[in-house]
Amino acid sequence: MRVLLVTTELAPFVAVSGLGNTVKVLSKELLRLRHDVRIAVPCYPMVEYDARYNVRPVLDKIVVPWAGGKAKHAFVKTAVLEGVPVYLVGSPEYFREVLDSGDLCRKDWESYTFFARAVLEALKAVKPRWTPKVIHVSSWHGDLIPVYLNALHRRDLNLKNVAVVATTHDIVSQDEFEFQATADAIYGVGRAESGKKVSLLRTAKDYELLYRAAWTKARSCRQQEI
């Protein structure tokens, strides 16, 4: 089965909590079970320019639709982690300030909603074509992926049948944002009231736009891996 793991942490590339190790171990186990597994992670400069990871370019310019009919651009680079291909999805506009793992500890709805949209656009653009049967998103950073799949890609022949599993790590600390900012990122999909604070996880669940999505609540802490 083709499985894409979407994450913001991946040990040893970048890790703040147990999430990075969890994704690494999960990818190795799926590979051992003979699944075709790949990982998508933001292209942080601390990884991109580290010679140990042998990062190589794949796609230079992917158009990513954005609020108000505007478009942003993403690029994709690749690396390999213990036999598992890793897509590094980046942009000249986002994640460029992440120079060490500590820089990940910030609330930044726009960067991560861009990342969610860019991952889906990259899947349509990468060659040779590789479309996952299942996308697994870890933590709140990827929670809008099932919303985008159902609301914006439901007629796409390559993505319309993709299933999603979302795992929430540390559910107590889900980040919240002003609704207007979140609505801009969702590109008109949302229906919440102006001025309301929402989390990306809560947003995805409230709108009932999950496309074959199973939500798993799992708590983790720095001292104990899932």
Q: What average pLDDT score do residues 128-154 get?
A: 85
Residue 143 has pLDDT above 80, yes or no: no
In a domain, 193, yes or no: no
Asked if residue 90 lies in contact with residue 24, where contact means CB atoms within 8 angstroms, the answer is no
User: Where is pLDDT greater, at 168 or 77?
Assistant: 77
Domain that holds residue 76: 2-174+211-218
Residue 95 has pLDDT above 80, yes or no: yes
Express each pLDDT in 206-220 by its tens digit: 444 333 333 343 333
Least confident of 48-62, 167-181, 202-216: 202-216
Dist CA 140 CA 8 (whole Å): 10
Domain count, the chain: 1
Dist CA 226 CA 70 (whole Å): 40
In a domain, 66, yes or no: yes
Residue 29 has pLDDT above 80, yes or no: yes
Which CATH number do you get for residue 86?
3.40.50.2000
In a domain, 92, yes or no: yes
Query: Do you know the residue count of the chain?
Result: 226
Closest CA to 122 of 62, 60, 209: 62
In a domain, 130, yes or no: yes
In a domain, 145, yes or no: yes
In a domain, 54, yes or no: yes
In a domain, 112, yes or no: yes
In a domain, 185, yes or no: no
